[in-house]
Amino acid sequence: MIEWDTIAAIATPRGEGGVGIVRVSGSLAVPIACQIFRSSRHVSAAELPSHTLNYGHVIRSSSGEVIDEVMLGIMRAPKSYTAEDVVEFNCHGGIVPLRGVLELTLKAGARLAAPGEFTKRAFLNGRLDLAQAEAVVDLIRSKTDLSRQIAIDQLSGKLSQTINALNDRLANLLAEVEASIDFPEEELDFMDLRAMRQTAQDILDDLDRLIASASDGKLLREGVNIAILGRPNVGKSSLLNTLLQEDRAIVTEIPGTTRDTIEAPLNLGGIPLQLIDTAGIHQTTDIVEQQGVERSKAYLDSADLLLIMFDSSRSLTDEDRELLHAAKIRKSVLILNKIDLPIVTTPTDLHTDAPQKPVVQISLLDSRGIEELKSAVHQELLDGDAIWGDSPIVTNVRHHDALCRGRLALGHAIESFTQQMPPDLVAVDLHSSLDCLGEIVGKTTTEDILGRIFSQFCVGK
């Protein structure tokens, strides 16, 4: 049996289940548990017997902060799913604790598992029989395709541009270092050490900003922000409920029932969304309601996609026209609700104010037009690059993890520049850093680096 490295992943489906599991497999599984798990009985994870569930807390050791209250399952090799040492953290179901625990396992030395990797190991380690090979392979393929699709969706637009640009700058810096190593005799105009260090520092600063934007809370919400906007009682909460297929928001006949924003995660055709039901936008004297309206208006600017609802049984008001005006410059889908009633306002009316924007006619009463709406949303998200709003955000642990490791390695490189370490040593860290970004935007090969050298410098005796 080959001894592989230690891997970790969230083993339960995405979403808000009651319990979620972070699974770790490999020789470091138990040491990692020792590092981050504090048992209620003050017993080290190393001393816990195999095949037991143990109550305790996952703690960030640096700060002592409690990440979650968990049940820790320990299964020692070979009697585990993968035939390796396995620990499982049974956490509370929300994405916040799961992600927190997962990130701690990665910091403690695990690697994020590739799609289907636990099952692959189970097979390679002889835990699954031959007949299951096909199933294992199908699982890897389908999981990979799905996660790639999600990654591509998430990476479309600004975020990918930002990471690509960082990757490009880093590759150029590495080319500079490599050229100085491989072509010592040519008269090449290399950057001096100070300039190289500064370039690395600039890249690091941008990387920091990117990671910070990923950590400031947006990361904790899954996916793209979609705000549902419209006048009071146009059917925003009903739409939210229909999309979620559950009674999330309170729906009444009284306009202005939703006084504050309500958020709910939703997965639409593989794209994770954060659906935001907003208070109706209108003039009001109720102070609580006023705040809700203010917040709704803020979403006009910050959401990645706007769903703007209109009442097709009534004619357009000034407030409606204000929203249409906003729709013109933002990514949006226009919705005409209540087509079960006699139609007063048509798509053509909307297009007078906001030409070319997609319009979907629906009735939430008899669920007409919902599929059309979903496909229009999907289309808008995949098409074009504006879905990330103003700041590129990172929503995927894999990306976040890769960026953090890339940052760490680049930090080492800067330190080596400062200490005037030889270039071949600096290059080691630059390579690692570039490899980390490469996990997101595609690997930079030796040929790429050589290509940069040959196009940038006149080399060759």
Partner 1 sequence: MNTYHKQYDVLVVGAGHAGCEAALAAARMGCETLIVTINLDTIAKMSCNPAIGGLAKGHLVKEIDALGGEMAKNIDKTGIQFRQLNTKKGPAVRSSRAQADKYAYQSEMKRVLERQPHLDIKQLLVDELLTENGKCIGILGHTQTAYLAKTVILTTGTFLKGLVHLGDVSYSAGRAGESSAEKLSDSFLSLGFEIGRLKTGTPPRVNAHTVNFDVMEIQPGDQQPRPFSFSTEQITQPQLPCHLTYTNEKTHQIIRDNLHRSAMYSGRITGIGPRYCPSIEDKVVRFADKDRHQVFVEPEGRDTDEIYLNGISASLPEDVQVDMVHSIKGLENAEIMRFAYAVEYDFAPATQLYPTLETKRVEHLYFAGQLNGTTGYEEAAAQGLMAGINAALKVRAEEPLILDRSQAYIGVLIDDLVTKDIREPYRMFTSRAEYRLELREDNADLRLTEMGRQINLIEAETYERFQIKRKLVEEEINRLEHTRLKPSLDTQTLLKSAGISEIGQPTSLAELLKRPEIHYGQIKQLASNSQPLPEVVEEQVEIQIKYEGYIDRQTTQIRQFKKMEHFRIPIDFDYTSVRSLKTEACEQLAKIRPISVGQASRIPGVSPADISILMVWVEQYKRQMQSQV
d(CA 406, CA 75) in angstroms, rounded, equals 32
**What DSSP letter does each residue of 115-174 carry, written as one string?**
TTHHHHHHHHTTSS-GGGHHHHHHHHHHHHHHHHHHHHHHHTTHHHHHHHHHHHHHHHHH
The burial class, CB within 10 Å (0-12 / 13-18 / 19+), for 461 is exposed
Q: Which of 191, 268, 370, 459 binds partner 1 (CB under 8 A)?
A: 459
What is the Cα–Cα distance from 436 to 174, expressed in whole angstroms?
14
- 442-448 long-range Cβ contacts below 8 angstroms, 24+ apart: 444/167, 444/171, 444/174, 448/171
Q: Which stretch binds partner 1 (CB under 8 A): 83-91, 111-119, 215-223, 352-360?
A: 111-119
Site residues for partner 1, 323-382, by CB under 8 A, read: none
Peptide bond into 78 cis (omega under 30): yes
Contact predicate 310/338, CB 8 Å: no
Report, in Å, the least distance between residue 206 CB and partner 1. 25
Stretch that binds partner 1, among 132-140, 150-158, 296-304, 398-406 (CB under 8 A): 132-140
CB-nearer residue toward partner 1: 311 or 401: 401
Size of the site for partner 1 (CB under 8 A): 48
> DSSP for 200-217?
HHHHHHHHHHHHHHHHTT
Nearer to partner 1, 37 or 123 (CB): 123
294 lies in the binding site for partner 1 (CB under 8 A): no
Q: Which stretch binds partner 1 (CB under 8 A): 18-26, 80-88, 354-362, 442-450?
A: 442-450
Figure out which of the listed residues 168, 186, 206, 322 binds partner 1, where binding follows CB under 8 A.
186
Helix, strand, coil fractions of the chain, as percent rounded to 5: 45, 20, 35
**C-alpha span between 184 and 57 (Å, rounded):** 56
State the pairing for strand pair 224-230/271-277.
parallel
Question: Hey, which residues between 145 and 184 contact partner 1 (CB under 8 A)?
Answer: 178, 180-184
Single residue of 300, 431, 433, 434 touching partner 1 by CB under 8 A:
431
| Position among 1, 5, 379, 382 found at the interface with partner 1 (CB under 8 A) | 5
Whole-number minimum distance, CB 290 to partner 1, in Å?
A: 52
Regarding 53 and contact with partner 1 (CB under 8 A), the answer is no
List 130, 254, 287, 329, residue binding partner 1 (CB under 8 A): 130
CB of 381 to partner 1, least distance (A): 25
Cα(300)–Cα(306) distance, integer angstroms:
7
Indicate the Cα dihedral angle 214, 217, 220, 224, nearest 10°. Answer: -70
Contact (Cβ atoms closer than 8 angstroms) between residue 140 and residue 120: yes
Binding to partner 1 by residue 406, rule CB under 8 A? no
Q: Which of 34, 59, 96, 124 binds partner 1 (CB under 8 A)?
A: 124
Instruction: Say whether residue 419 binds partner 1 (CB under 8 A).
Output: yes
**Residue among 266, 249, 346 at smallest CA distance from 305:** 266
For residue 337, what are its two tokens?
């609700």
Taking CB under 8 A as the binding criterion, the range among 35-43, 86-94, 137-145, 342-350 that sits at the site for partner 1 is 137-145
- The piece of 48-56, 112-120, 196-204, 223-231 that touches partner 1 (CB under 8 A) is 112-120
Give the nearest distance from C-beta 385 to partner 1 in angstroms.
Answer: 25
Task: Pick the closer one to partner 1 by CB: 217 or 460.
Answer: 460
Is residue 192 within the footprint of partner 1 (CB under 8 A)? no
Give the number of residues written for the chain: 461
Q: Which stretch binds partner 1 (CB under 8 A): 131-139, 227-235, 286-294, 377-385?
A: 131-139
CB of 461 to partner 1, least distance (A): 5
Q: Provide, rounded to whole angstroms, the least separation between the CB of residue 397 and partner 1.
A: 17
The beta strand positions in 76-117, using DSSP E, are: 86-92, 111-112
Give the residue, chosen from 23, 38, 99, 120, that forms a contact with partner 1 under the rule CB under 8 A. 120
**Which residues of the shown chain bind partner 1 in the complex (CB under 8 A)?**
2-5, 114-117, 120, 123-124, 130, 133-134, 136-138, 140-141, 144, 178, 180-187, 419-425, 427-428, 431, 446-447, 449-450, 454, 458-461
